[in-house]
Chains A and B, each alone.
Chain A
Amino acid sequence: MKTFLFPLLAGAALAGSAAGHAKAAPELGHWMVALSVANLDTETEFYKKLGFKVALDTKFGPGIPVRWLTSGNERIELLQIANSKPPATPRAKPPGHAAVQGYSQMTLSTRDIAATKAALAAQGLTPALDITEVKPLGIKVMYYQDPEGNAVEIAQKL
């Protein structure tokens, strides 16, 4: 009898807490940023220069080629579908890229932005926007553009 009561009480407690907090949804984690691209290979080459590695290279759904690139705990999903088109209004070079609404950039965290810039320069990459302090946000940032013009921001906390 005692063992029967205990699960009942536990069940009531769980139901009570779930009903009391409709927002008791699981905490979320970062999975990835997805990019629709014209050319998987040239895009992959660029992100390899940033130190990303190919973690998955497959097709899904109606045969859509997909590639996952990872660095640390960041993941980029590249998707190449037939007949994709560039947006009618292209994004300007950063910082003007945010003038078009929608996902505007992915931002990667680094502990040493100057060392990262030097490492990327050794890979032949030049920032589209050089290291700039954004005081109100407490960060220093720089921007690169991938071969298809997508903005990649690299940020270090001040």
Chain B
Amino acid sequence: MMVKRWRITLACAGLALGAASAQAQHPTSGLAFSPFYVAISVQDIEAMSAFYVDKLGFKVEKDAALGQALHFRWLTNGAERVELIQMAGSQAGPARGKPPGHLTIRGFTHLGIETPNIEATKAALLAEGVTLTTDISTLAPLGMKAMFVTDPEGNAIEIIQRLPG
């Protein structure tokens, strides 16, 4: 019985090796990614959740802790998922200016979310008391219209509508 198990393990290892070498011959095959989420390290997970849920229409998909040090919350709206991470002892990141000034500090600068109707999204945000950081502008070279809002901890969110054509 032990021998049989051992053989199966070997056979599986052989299959795995075969798969790995096939992968090596076509190194980029199978490398098509989908967005999973964009993660934000936060100071106050409750205040941040309240903004994404109450103002931007996200729903809590998952809430989990990893010991005492890490608290995760997944928020989703349609095809967008944001992961909030509250880590014990985390420190404030750099204060980024108003877009496009927020780009002067390198690193992840903003999340881009698509809406089918930017005017309707703007109206809904204003009705919720959200102030736009920058109003709707057309970015012709990018084929889109966009506006920015900022979450309570200063993270920029770009809301985008594709231009026709």
A positions within 8 Å CB-CB of B: 22-38, 50-51, 56, 58-62, 64, 66, 68, 71-75, 77, 79, 81, 83-89, 91, 97-110, 112, 114-116, 118-120, 122-123, 134, 136-138, 148, 150, 153-155
Check B160–A119 contact: CB distance below 8 A.
no
Other A-B contacts than A32-B112, A101-B43, A106-B108, 20 sampled, CB-CB below 8 A, are: A23-B124, A27-B78, A28-B115, A28-B121, A28-B159, A30-B112, A31-B112, A36-B104, A73-B35, A85-B104, A85-B106, A101-B41, A103-B111, A104-B39, A106-B39, A107-B39, A107-B83, A116-B31, A148-B107, A150-B108
Which of A31, A89, A153 interacts with B94 by CB under 8 Å? A89
B113 at the interface (CB under 8 A from A): yes
Q: Which 8 residue pairs spanning A and B have beta carbons closest together?
A: A51-B31, A102-B93, A25-B124, A103-B108, A136-B64, A31-B112, A27-B78, A108-B33
Contact of A100 (CB < 8 Å), options: B70, B91, B104, B142:
B91
Main secondary structure of the interface of A (DSSP, over half): mixed
CB contacts (< 8 Å) of A108 on chain B: these are 33-36
Interface residue B30 (Cβ < 8 Å from any Cβ of A): yes
Number of A-B contacts (CB under 8 A): 255
